[in-house]
Amino acid sequence: MSNAPRTDDDEWAWAWASFMAHDRHSDGRFIVAVTTTGIYCKPSCPARRPKREHVRFYADADAARGAGFRACLRCKPDEVGRDRIAVARAVELIEAAEEGIALEELAERVGYAPHHFHRLFKRATGVTPAAYARGLRARRAAEALHQEDSVTEAIYEAGYSAPSRFYETANARLGMTPSVWKRGGAGVTIRWTIADTTLGPLLIAATDKGLCRVAFDEDAIQLARRFPAAEIVQGGAALAALAARVVAEVETPGRDADLPVDVQGTAFQEAVWQALRAIPPGETLSYAQLAAAAGNPNAVRAAGTACGANHVSIIIPCHRAQRSDGSMGGYAYGIDRKLVLRKREGVKEQGE
């Protein structure tokens, strides 16, 4: 954005929509100035909304001040930049640390009270500082397990203080033990079925821990290619019950938010997936908002890629993601399916 005010209704409809929705994910992306009061605010300001003709959008607080506006004392927009810098610095500290950093120390080093910074970090990234650190170590461990000859060496290389610390969270993060991971998932059993839905055949596959693949137009052969070292087994009573819940989500999205999943991704991908699962049915987020929720507002393209890398469609509802201009964007299983899913949730599309 330049320093000029944003007034074009069509081009900046997304900013107006974010402002009207009190969208916290848009804080820091632009500044809202109100001509009748001479005040500028962040998009999530709780104050009553002015008429559209009295609103101007600016790239940042400096631009708004340069145009003669003063900061809102209620939402304190000047603090947004400081908050984002603090979160970015905290991420750098976590990634550079050989061992974990206590919340108290992390908050002190970026100049915040621990409780406040805990909420601030989670709001910005979608995860707590401790969860971000665990995700980072687990991702490094997964990469190291493919490269190191010794599992123990890989664990230390990933930043764990001892093998026992890795084993405490390995099953939750990787879905299997380190030695099994090293062998490409050998010994893991994946049960699968193909269910009929009104949107077409749906492959549903799960480990003992949860759903690992939910995809339209795929079969057991494609599943085996994704998990070449696992034992692929058809059906089973336990899977039938789980599959019925998945099908119900296709027909009436948003009814069952507690379906278990057993998927892995990078720390950023998992933060995007968590943000997607947190979107209420009938609501949407832009890829830019998802990037901000995952802790990197500039990684808009990567947020879209994370949606495309989603292993469990419907369960992680990437159909609730869209472009900043309000258009739907892409969908791995076809725009027509995405449109139907959104309509079933009550999403109003452009032009409706």
Residues taking part in catalysis: 41, 318
Cβ atoms of 188 and 179 closer than 8 Å: no
What the block records as the tokens of 74 is 């209620």
| Burial of residue 46, with CB atoms counted within 10 A of its CB: 0-12 exposed, 13-18 middle, 19 or more buried | exposed
Distance in angstroms (rounded) separating the CA atoms of residues 223 and 299: 30
Number of H helices, E strands in the chain: 15, 10
Distance in angstroms (rounded) separating the CA atoms of residues 111 and 17: 33
β-pair partners for 192 = 205, 234
Residue type, 253: P
Cβ atoms of 319 and 332 closer than 8 Å: no
- Given the DSSP bridges, would you call strands 39-41 and 31-34 parallel, antiparallel or unpaired? antiparallel
Place of tokens 């998927």: 263
DSSP H/E element including 58: strand 55-58
What the block records as the tokens of 193 is 């079925």
